Amino acid sequence: MNKSLVTNLLAAALVVVGYVIDSAMVLSVGLFALSGAITNWVAIYMLFEKVPGLYGSGVVPSRFEEFKAGIAHLMMKQFFTTENVERFLSEKQGFSKIDLAPVIEKVDLAPSFDALISTVAQSSFGGMLSMFGGTDALLPLKEPFIVKMKASLVEMAQSDAFHELLQQEIEQPNVMADLQTKIANIVEQRLSELTPQMVKKIVQDMIQTHLGWLVIWGGVFGGLIGLVAALIQG
């Protein structure tokens, strides 16, 4: 339900009723309520839309760059601070949640097998290997080698010793600074994809529901002022 529209219609209805029944009090209440509701509705509209000749209108899209800078500052100064990152990295539980298995599964270990075959061929076993078909005789071992190698890497990546070593390396000052720089670059990159229209929609969606109450209360207080004015004049 559109709160602004309903409030304006009710206020306009009071104006019509007051005029039809020739009631100064009802007419005054309706006029003041309508003026309060419309004034607040126009103010809300001017937040998001530029109105020619009205200075200060369209403040949300016109402050687009400041809006983006504010988000970037908020994220880097409140969420991704050095203290927060260090706190996360210092918690062993945080590292235990790092699962490298999906990454390892995607790694192509075929070059490792090829390097192993090349090493064997160039070693003292190369001559003996040539008696049994050369390096081609080892090709059936390629898939089992890759499977076993990935399983070993996953097991190693899940060990406490590996997590402790990873934590020690990441907590180095130069690594921490580089990590924050990369986070800042990601934030800036994502914010650069925002357009003024997107920013306007984001803010509008967030506060439109709550701003609707401004129109309602504008109509209510306007109506009360109109009632007081009618009583004073009466």
Instruction: Give the rounded percent of residues in the chain with a pLDDT score beyond 70.
Output: 77
Helices (H) and strands (E) in the chain, counts: 13, 0
Task: Please say whether the beta carbons of 68 and 199 come within 8 A.
Answer: yes
Distance CA 76, CA 107 (A): 32
Q: What is the pLDDT of residues 24-52, one digit of tens each?
A: 888 888 899 889 888 888 887 787 788 88
**In this predicted structure, what is the pLDDT of residue 91?**
61
Q: What's the whole-number average pLDDT of the chain?
A: 77
What lies within 8 Å, CB to CB, of 60 at 6+ separation is: 47, 48, 67, 199, 200, 203, 204
Could you identify the residue written with the tokens 């880097």? 76
pTM of the full structure: 0.47
* Mean pLDDT value of segment 199-206: 69
pLDDT at residue 172 tops 80: no
Task: Please say whether the beta carbons of 189 and 144 come within 8 A.
Answer: no
Q: What is the pLDDT of residues 62-89, one digit of tens each?
A: 777 777 787 777 777 777 777 776 676 6
DSSP states of 120-137: HHHSTTHHHHHTTTGGGG
**In this predicted structure, what is the pLDDT of residue 76?**
77
Q: What is the pLDDT of residues 109-150, one digit of tens each?
A: 888 878 877 776 776 666 666 665 666 767 777 888 888 888
Q: H or E segment at 9?
A: helix 3-20
Residue 99's pLDDT band, with cuts at 50, 70 and 90, is: confident
